[in-house]
Amino acid sequence: MNFLTILPMAVVMVAGTQLVAAVFLASADRPRAASLGFLAGAGLVVTGGVTASWLVTRAVKVGAGGGGGHGGRSAVETRIDQVVLVLLVVLAVLVFLRRHTAGTPKWMGRLQEAGPGYALKLGVLLFLAMPSDDLTMITVGATAARHDLPWWHLLPFIVLTLAFLALPLLALVLLGHRAETVLPRIRDQAQRHAWVVSEAVIVFFLALTLVDLAR
C-alpha cells in the first residue's frame, strides 16, 4: 500500500456539509478572505488529526515489536487492520444513516457576512465535530502507520482534501460572475449525491483492508 491508496478517502472528508459550507463562503461578502480562513481551519484539523493517528499507531506498533518476522505479519499489524476494519464499517453506517439529512442548515445563512476569523473557527469546529471526519482521519493515519509509510505520505491526502474544499473559490476566481450559476450546482450535487460517492470510497478501502487481513 502507498499514499495513492489513501487519497480517495479525501472525498469522504469533504462530502456533504463541508463542501456546502465552502460554497456558501465563496458566495459571502468577502469570499476570498472567508474561503481562505475556512481552508486554514480545515487544514489545521486535518493535518493534526491524521498526524496524531499516525503517531499513536506507529508508537503502538513499535512498542509491540512491529515487524512480522520471516516475511509474516505481526499480531499488532493484525490488530491494527481489525481496528481499521471496524472503523470503516462504523463510518459506512454513519454515512448511510445521514444520507437523508442533506440540506442547508439554517446557520449557513449567516455565512454571507462571514469574515476570515469566523471562517477559520468554522473550519476547525466543522471538521472536529463531524464523527465521519474524525473516523476518516483516524483510519487514514492508522493505515499509513500500519504499512510503515513515512509521515510525508499523508501530505497528498491533506492537500487533496483542501483542494476539494477550494473548488468553490477556484470557480469564483476563474469564472467570475459565471460562478453564480456554477456554485449552486456544486452545492446541489454535494447535498444529493455525495453520500453515494463516499460509500463507494469506503467500500473500496474496506476491501483493501480485508485483503491485508487475508494475507
| Domain residue ranges of the chain, discontinuous segments joined by + | 3-214
Quick one: pLDDT band at residue 101, thresholds 50, 70, 90?
Answer: low
Quick one: pLDDT band at residue 70, thresholds 50, 70, 90?
Answer: very low
Indicate the SS3 state at residue 36. helix
Q: What is the pLDDT of residues 127-174, one digit of tens each?
A: 998 888 999 999 999 999 999 999 999 999 999 999 999 988 888 888
Contact of 11 with 201, CB cutoff 8 Å: yes
How far, CA to CA in Å, does 173 sit from each of 43, 179, 188, 194? Answer: 21, 8, 20, 24
Closest CA to 174 of 43, 31, 19: 31
Q: For residue 163, what pLDDT is reported?
A: 95
Q: For residue 137, what pLDDT is reported?
A: 96
Q: For residue 189, what pLDDT is reported?
A: 66
Of residues 20 and 119, more confidence is placed in 119
Q: The pTM is what?
A: 0.85
Grid cell 491526502 is found at 157
If you average pLDDT over every residue of the chain, what do you get?
84
Please say if the pLDDT value at position 69 is more than 60. Answer: no
Quick one: pLDDT band at residue 46, thresholds 50, 70, 90?
Answer: very high
**CA 67 to CA 136: how far, in whole Å?**
25
